[in-house]
Structure 1
Amino acid sequence: MKVKLRYVVEDIDRHGNVRIYYRRHGRKTRLRGPLGSPEFLEDYNKAVVAAPATTLNTVLGANQIKPQSLRWLCVQYYKSAMFQELDPRTQRVRRGILERFCQNNGDGDKPFKMMMPRHIRKRRDEMVDRPEAANGMVKALRQLYKYAVRYDLHDANPAEKIEYLSGSAEGFHSWTLAEIERFEKQHPVGTKARLALALALYTGQRRADLVALGRQHVRDGWLVFTQHKNRKRKPVHMELPIIPALQHILDASPTGDLTFLVTSFGKPFTSNGFGNRFHKWVEEAGLENCSVHGLRKAAAARLAELGCTEFEIMAITGHTTSKEVTRYTRAASQKTRAESALKRISGEHSKDKSVPLFRKDN
């Protein structure tokens, strides 16, 4: 199958070797081959992300960016190590947020030093119906001005103390046992869908990690790998035991050479591609609002129900702080505490006698 992507060109050197490049705005970036390979796609995505940062002046016209404007500050930020060290996907998302902010009411042409906390709060409040998007905007501006302060371009960060909107306390839906059983009934052991479910449920990892796991990560019955998130800045190294239930499904499932999960063409999934395919498997099982990330939450919640501490759960999920784990396991922890409390009450009295939860003193 011929792969056709924008700005990809091929040159033949004097030795007859085919070289692949990403060429845009007069700049060429060498890409690894062959076309369509995981290495090629990785290099292509990096080139797409990097190109705007180095050619933004060309695209907009150098004379169109006002010095000391908010857009000017964004351009400087994109060139900085603070931005370049981010994951490519994070770069794309953050750039999109900042560009949309600049385009609103011509804010990109205004002096960035004139930005005040009230301006950010006003924009945040206009997005109250989209709390996650509003919080993402606040975070992006916070990082932009953090760069400005760090590089002595400004003496204050107007977004530093802007409060996040509360949004949804629950976030992604955590799978119930009934939903897991329904998925398993639709997708028996030996299918890719069941393998995907088992990997997500029995490792508690993110989508980007699930698509990268393979036999090269197996060492003496353990999965040994570095999580994809923050791997460049604050890498989290993981060692997880492969429990018998997961090993059984791995042994009974078709897998790839380098990754357990592969496409119908035998190639590793991209993170987004896997998410789309998993969504179809969920629909085939007649389920709604069930995602890969929801299985990560379900795994953490189940560990909480079994009495695991937050630090033990963090050792499985790879979280570096307990904030997110607490949110994941809030409902499970409440259930466990309630069960424990009622068992203590019932244990202190006769099983034949009804006991009120609260006793009025005589």
Structure 2
Amino acid sequence: MKKREKYPGASSYKDRHGKRRWRYRSRGFTAELGSDYGSDEFEQRYQDAVNRQKSKSSEGAGASRTKAGTLDDLVTHFYKLHFPTIGESTRADYRSVIEPLRLKHGKKRIAHMKIRHVMAIKAEMHETPMQANKMLKRLSQMMDLAVTMDWVAANPVLGVSKYATTSEGYHSWDEGEIARFYEVHPLGSPAHICMTLMLYTGAAKVDAVKLGPANVKDGRIEYRRQKTSKNPSGVLISLPIHPALVAALAARPVTFTYLETGHNKARSRKGLGTSMRKWCDKAGLPLCSSHGLRKAICRRIAEAGGTPYEIMAVSGHVTLAMAQKYCETFGRRDMADSAFSRLTGTKAEQNLTNHPERFVNKSSNTL
């Protein structure tokens, strides 16, 4: 039963040799998924089937073989080497970018790829610049692997610039939006505890739905992000429980997880996202989302003068670049205020009136 929930629409059967195989069926569409349940190949076939496409690798043993040195071959190597280090949700994000590229150019040889070819692929996606930039990032990762394996001498993607975009990603909640949400959703409601839990832990949806009393140790909430749990550099997040969160948890007793449904069942990541969308719309906050709460706690730390390392300790980021971005984006106003406070009513400002001698007007007229 659990396996079917993980892959909705997939069911098993035994072939004429008695071997168990899996098949996807949905609204008249059928696709074979193979016999290696849960493998990378199985997940690839399942993703193709969900998109109502029959994966070539599911059409038979002979069809599943890839030619050495092709993009198909490189993708296979990339999945095997890189996917064990990332979480399941991140894998799905990678596949959403890589598989369309593979479907269109999979049979082409990597050794023949030049900068002009990468530019042509980028140009085909000009209507979706952010998606094009994601494609360039994933393709560059794969080409770095090709360089490591001596398939090519250099990475041609490095010579192609990304599209300039004005989007800063998910909207970060401001204090007015947070206050408005709490006005509409009072203490004790599912929306209130969801908001408070994510706002004061910085947990992503996939992690927030798993948090519960079992994560509380010595008065702190501790967990490992699913996104980095398989990464050797993934760190344990240990946070003090904010008084607002203490009040929210006390107002809504739970059995297993803090965000469980009214029937004491775990809430799914997608279910949480759908619920948050409804709750935000009810509060008249169309720009706000659950991921924006993760950015909001980082913003608060930055505006309070927190360092990038303090942000990383809360958010679980494993690289300094993203945490530094929060400080640069949200800490500027306070830094400007601090800078001007140094100029106002200080000896430094008074010294500015003592102009260098060359700027003093000298007159030959005597009194």
TM-score range, shorter chain: 0.7 to 0.9
Q: Which amino acid aligns with 1:302?
A: R
1:237 has 2:236 as partner? yes
1:220 has 2:223 as partner? no
Per the alignment, residue 208 of structure 2 pairs with 210
Q: Secondary structure at the match of 1:326?
A: helix
Q: Secondary structure at the match of 2:186?
A: coil
**CA displacement, residues 38-65 of structure 1 (integer Å, 9 cap, x when unaligned):** xxxxx7x989526569x85343773587
Per the alignment, residue 180 of structure 2 pairs with 182
* TM alignment of 1:122-161, pairs within 5 A: 122-161=120-159
In structure 2, relative to structure 1, the CA distance for the partners of 1:360 and 1:9 (3 Å cut) is farther
For structure 1, list consecutive stretches of 5 or more residues without a partner in the other structure. Answer: 12-20, 31-42, 350-354
User: Which one of the candidate residues 304, 317, 322 is aligned to 2:320?
Assistant: 322
Per the alignment, residue 40 of structure 1 pairs with none
The answer on whether the counterparts of 1:209 and 1:227 sit within 8 Å (CA) in structure 2 is yes
323-332 or 58-67, which deviates more: 58-67
The answer on whether the counterparts of 2:33 and 2:58 sit within 8 Å (CA) in structure 1 is no
CA distance in 1, matches of 2:203, 2:22: 36
CA distance in 2, matches of 1:26, 1:175: 42
In structure 2, relative to structure 1, the CA distance for the partners of 1:228 and 1:75 (3 Å cut) is closer
Q: CA deviation at 1:162?
A: 3.8
CA distance in 1, matches of 2:170, 2:220: 28
CA distance in 2, matches of 1:130, 1:162: 16
In structure 2, relative to structure 1, the CA distance for the partners of 1:128 and 1:27 (3 Å cut) is closer
273-282 or 66-75, which deviates more: 66-75
Per the alignment, residue 87 of structure 2 pairs with 87
Per the alignment, residue 308 of structure 2 pairs with 310
Q: TM-score, normalised by structure 2?
A: 0.78
Q: CA deviation at 1:163?
A: 3.3
Q: Secondary structure at the match of 2:120?
A: helix
Larger Rg: 2
CA distance in 1, matches of 2:206, 2:33: 33
Aligned length: 330
Q: Secondary structure at the match of 2:156?
A: coil
User: Which one of the candidate residues 191, 194, 209 is aligned to 2:192?
Assistant: 194
Q: CA deviation at 1:122?
A: 3.0
**CA displacement, residues 188-225 of structure 1 (integer Å, 9 cap, x when unaligned):** 11011111111111112222221111111101110111
Q: Secondary structure at the match of 2:157?
A: coil
**CA displacement, residues 258-286 of structure 1 (integer Å, 9 cap, x when unaligned):** x2111344322222221111111100111
Q: Which amino acid aligns with 1:96?
A: S
The answer on whether the counterparts of 1:71 and 1:109 sit within 8 Å (CA) in structure 2 is yes
1:96 has 2:114 as partner? no
Q: CA deviation at 1:22?
A: 7.0
1:6 has 2:5 as partner? no
Root-mean-square deviation (Å): 3.4
In structure 2, relative to structure 1, the CA distance for the partners of 1:75 and 1:332 (3 Å cut) is closer
**CA displacement, residues 307-333 of structure 1 (integer Å, 9 cap, x when unaligned):** 111111111111122221233343421
User: Which one of the candidate residues 272, 275, 281 is aligned to 1:274?
Assistant: 272
For structure 2, list consecutive stretches of 5 or more residues without a partner in the other structure. Answer: 15-19, 24-31, 48-54, 360-367
**CA displacement, residues 334-354 of structure 1 (integer Å, 9 cap, x when unaligned):** 1111221233333439xxxxx
The answer on whether the counterparts of 2:58 and 2:64 sit within 8 Å (CA) in structure 1 is no
Q: CA deviation at 1:183?
A: 0.3
Q: CA deviation at 1:289?
A: 0.9
In structure 2, relative to structure 1, the CA distance for the partners of 1:222 and 1:167 (3 Å cut) is same
Q: Which amino acid aligns with 2:245?
A: L
User: Which one of the candidate residues 341, 344, 349 is aligned to 1:343?
Assistant: 341
Q: TM-score, normalised by structure 1?
A: 0.79
The answer on whether the counterparts of 2:78 and 2:145 sit within 8 Å (CA) in structure 1 is no
In structure 2, relative to structure 1, the CA distance for the partners of 1:329 and 1:281 (3 Å cut) is farther
Q: CA deviation at 1:74?
A: 4.3
Q: Secondary structure at the match of 1:324?
A: helix
